[in-house]
Structure 1
Amino acid sequence: MERGKVQRMREEILTGPIERTLLRLAYPLIVSNLIQVLYNITDTFWLGKIGREALAAPGTSWPIIGTLMALGMGFAMAGFALVGQYIGAGRYEKANRSAGALYSLMLIFSTLTAIISLAVLPYALHFMKVTPNVYPHAKAYATVVFAGVPLSFSFMAFSALMRAAGDTKTPVKVSMLTVFMNIVLDPVFIFLLDLGVEGAAIATVLSNGTGALIGLRLLTSGRTGLYLTKETLKPDLEFYSKIFRVGLPSAVGQSANNFGFVVLTRIIYGYGDVVYAAYIITTRLVNFITSISRGISMAMGTMIAQNVGAENYERAKRIAERTMMVNFLIASFAILIIGIFRVPIFKVFLNDPAVIAQSEYVLKYFLISVPFFNGIFVVVTRTFSSAGHTKKSMILSMLRLWGLRIPLSYAFGYVPAIMISEVILDHEISIRIPLAELFGMSSRGVFFGMGMSNFLAALVALLWFLRGSWMKRIIEEEE
């Protein structure tokens, strides 16, 4: 996307019809998300042929992987907000400088992340109480993926920068190539070369590496709206400080959240790998069907960043509100489809009666809350982060996971009952409130707590959004 195209796209984002512009930006991202989830489902499908333990390995590993990779995602989000707002304000040279600083910072940071990840991996798996039959598979998978973290960070930076410039098509084309590579390489490495779970990880790293190299080539070619040169890629403490200042809250928040999923995995594994396998397959299916709404949220982020940069605050608010309505309906439809076809779909991945039985509880107690999470919570947090108010999105995300999901999941899954006593008119009145007993001290209580966290977090997010404190651009502070 050349400079002229960036300027034309900017005008449409700032003044064009909201729905049409949102759809134009969203449809490549929707395709990208569907393809990305197809990659996850491909891993799940092939590893399911080996057995339940192999199938659970990537899902077990990803909370650990995500904890450290979330640091990169936080800084990528900061770069996205800065570049998007500079473009919205018409300051294209500043946008290029911020893009170069982000890319070089991500390369440095990802190398450190990979080293730390490999060092903490065995301790993290033990903390999660991963069952002995899953442990070797999860460790093998994560070790290979951690080695490829710099490549993943590079591709992450490329995708964020292209979206900030309003180019949602180019990253999708590259993603399609990497996913199709992974689909082809998966059975080759898993079965033909007999590498099992480790083979699936190798296929992932090779695919991500190809995408990272293509992305770097495009950014340095001058054929995109953003142009990285040796000058812009040089370490720059001034721009690094900007990215750190904006990105650190998001990075810390996302890392804390991903570590929260490490804790949540420990809670779910308390009821065995059958329950965890059901949870992993179900969430993979949800991710596939709700890819449309997530793509729309990402497109909305581009529109929010540039409109806030141009100080079109009321238009930014309307964009977010319309995205909420659309995403709520899409997510509701997704859950309905899963509910109707749950059993035959599960049998495609793993024809295990025990796992299929558990999937009913995941659907009944947890998945019904997904429209509130996907339609409201995700839209609000992305609105905050795209506007550069990463502290707000950090607080919301940590509240949902650490303040609500983990305590509620543990309480309804493991705490039989609590007693509340109060002295009224010199008489002590005690009330016994059953928690996990309501669900027979079973995995149903864990999933109920997860569902409740989505309902409550969505309510808090909506109230905070309506206050409007996020409607202030951040680049004013950088001039």
Structure 2
Amino acid sequence: MPVAFQCTNEQMFDVSPDDIRTGSIPKVLVALAAPLVVQNLVQVVQQVVDAFWLGRIGEAELGAVGLVTPLTSVLVALAIVGPMVGAHVVVSQRVGADEERPARRAAFNGVVLTFLFGTAAALLAFFFADPLVRAIATVDPDARAVEPAITYFSAYAPVFLFMGLSDSLEAGFLGWGDTRATLYVNVTAVAVNVLLDPVLIFGYGVPGFDGLAVTGAALATAAGYAASFLLVLALALGLRDSFRLTRADARLSLSDCRELLAVGWPNAGQRVAQDAVRIVVVVLVFVAGGTAGLAAYVIGARVASVAFIPASGLQQAAQSMIGQNLGAGHTERARSTTWTGVGIAVVALTLAGAVQWVVPEALATVFVPDIAPQALAYTVDYLQILALGYWAIGAGYLLRGGFNAARRTKTSMVASLLQYWGVRLPIAAASVYVLDGGVQSVFWAVTLSNVAVALGLAAYYWYETSDGMLERAAAKASDAAAESAG
């Protein structure tokens, strides 16, 4: 019998597994996505607050965060993304097949994997911050952003462990369709971060303490994720009625670990492939636009992360819904969920892009009120160029979700390789080094690559689903669930 956490007027966004398999697709998808959208918005608030306070120190400190962002993203991909995505997909399919104990065991083994990988990432960041950051800034090792970036990255090290543990447990709740639990966890992480930022960065409210500048920003983030891990652990041990871990579930299973990694590691490879190119793009921005260009790139990334919120939430919700339906053998419903999500995401992101196109200067000055004229000009250009491709980002998120939930994570990885290495990097490098197109040409490479991958994924998803991809995925999910139960 499926575990139901039924919808009530007080809990309008709670969705039961029965709803996921039989209810109105748009209604259930939105109900699942709504807490995730709020959760992602809260996470972006965290990034915005960090940028808000660091921007009041100076452009170099703000640029420092941008300089290490691709590096932190690579370590997150290697340490966290693989086990988390694997747990999300495997747990959802086992729940769909009514194999709940194997689903809980898979979630536990995801926690074990992220503990091991997260610890390794934290040690790497702490002891090798200097050479890793300088490797990114090889073009201008004396740039003002480099030293604060080294300081920030070494202090950021504990985040990898606490984020991994928290996210791996959240994957269990996501697989069950309990997206409200993940909302509570992330609100806690960001609330702690937001409260500590002004204290640890500037020393506000603490007599005799002048603050730790960029170190304070990193430590505030680490404290937030530590708090979120404690909360999600408490939820998993009995404070929620959906996903629960018991002592019987805490059993190491090498077969589960292999399955989680087989499903999730292509997504980790996808992230690494993306972020390796982003590191090169940071270098190209340095070459073409200097510190002003880097500040524009950071501000653009922060603003864009707000616009991506609906697509990211819808992707996670769709993966849960598609995974459970494939586990239950409802292939047509899984297909319809993907295309419904694509439609919703395209509309939402198109509206976000229209707003960004109209008020780019206002968005830029939110982050750096006294931003220099050149940096402001670059930021306006980047925000408007990005806005033109927002619809494609929305479609790409949902199409990847459709492939991921069918255990076709390698398809998502290949799509990202083509997007970043086949389109973005060649256009950006050629425009800077061959055509001398300026920093704006790097910005155009980002948008063109987003559009290219969205169109390619749409065509390929239509072709593969017409050729029986979902039917094969449902059969494989059924066999895997039966084997894990045995």
TM-score if structure 2 supplies the norm length? Answer: 0.89
Is contact 2:25-2:337 (8 Å) kept?
yes
Aligned residue number for residue 261 of structure 1: 278
Aligned residue number for residue 5 of structure 2: 5
* 1:357 matches 2:368: no
State the shift of 1:164 in Å: 0.8
* 1:371 matches 2:391: yes
| Distance (whole Å) between structure 2 residues aligned to residue 393 and residue 267 of structure 1 | 26
Point out the more displaced range, 45-54 or 297-306.
Answer: 297-306
Aligned residue number for residue 11 of structure 2: none
* 1:278 matches 2:296: yes
Is contact 1:190-1:199 (8 Å) kept?
yes
User: Which of 91, 95, 99 is 1:87 aligned to?
Assistant: 95
User: Which of 54, 58, 63 is 1:51 aligned to?
Assistant: 58
State the shift of 1:79 in Å: 0.7
| Distance (whole Å) between structure 2 residues aligned to residue 234 and residue 269 of structure 1 | 49
State the shift of 1:131 in Å: 5.1
| C-alpha spacing 1:342/1:8, structure 2 compared with 1 (3 Å) | closer
Aligned residue number for residue 327 of structure 2: 309
| C-alpha spacing 1:415/1:365, structure 2 compared with 1 (3 Å) | farther
State the shift of 1:152 in Å: 0.7
Aligned residue number for residue 172 of structure 2: 161
> Equivalent pairs: percent with the same residue?
26
User: Which of 227, 245, 248 is 2:265 aligned to?
Assistant: 248
Please list every run of 5 or more consecutive structure 2 residues that lacks an aligned counterpart in the other structure: 7-13, 204-208
Amino acid at match of 1:287: S
Map 1:140-289 onto structure 2 (within 5 A). 140-192=151-203, 193=209, 194-221=211-238, 223-271=240-288, 272-289=290-307
State the shift of 1:477 in Å: 4.7
Aligned residue number for residue 421 of structure 1: none
Amino acid at match of 1:152: M
| Distance (whole Å) between structure 2 residues aligned to residue 178 and residue 136 of structure 1 | 27
State the shift of 1:83 in Å: 0.4
State the shift of 1:110 in Å: 1.3
* 1:118 matches 2:126: yes
Q: Secondary structure at the match of 2:244?
A: coil
RMSD of Structure 2 on Structure 1 (CA): 1.9
| Distance (whole Å) between structure 2 residues aligned to residue 475 and residue 114 of structure 1 | 34
TM-score if structure 1 supplies the norm length? Answer: 0.90
Q: Secondary structure at the match of 2:57?
A: coil
* 1:411 matches 2:430: yes
Please list every run of 5 or more consecutive structure 1 residues that lacks an aligned counterpart in the other structure: 417-435
Q: CA-to-partner distance for each residue in 1:235-268, whole Å, 9 max, x for gaps?
A: 3212111112222222222223222222221222
Q: CA-to-partner distance for each residue in 1:89-147, whole Å, 9 max, x for gaps?
A: 11111111111111122112211222233344333322222652111111111112123
Q: Secondary structure at the match of 1:221?
A: helix
State the shift of 1:454 in Å: 1.2
State the shift of 1:218 in Å: 1.7
| C-alpha spacing 1:4/1:444, structure 2 compared with 1 (3 Å) | closer
Amino acid at match of 1:363: L
State the shift of 1:210 in Å: 0.4
Is contact 2:311-2:345 (8 Å) kept?
yes
| Distance (whole Å) between structure 2 residues aligned to residue 394 and residue 181 of structure 1 | 34
| Distance (whole Å) between structure 2 residues aligned to residue 289 and residue 453 of structure 1 | 17
Is contact 1:77-1:386 (8 Å) kept?
no
Point out the more displaced range, 125-134 or 4-13.
Answer: 4-13
Is contact 2:15-2:28 (8 Å) kept?
no
| Distance (whole Å) between structure 1 residues aligned to residue 29 and residue 120 of structure 2 | 37
Point out the more displaced range, 201-210 or 383-392.
Answer: 383-392
Q: Secondary structure at the match of 1:228?
A: coil
Amino acid at match of 2:63: A
State the shift of 1:448 in Å: 1.5
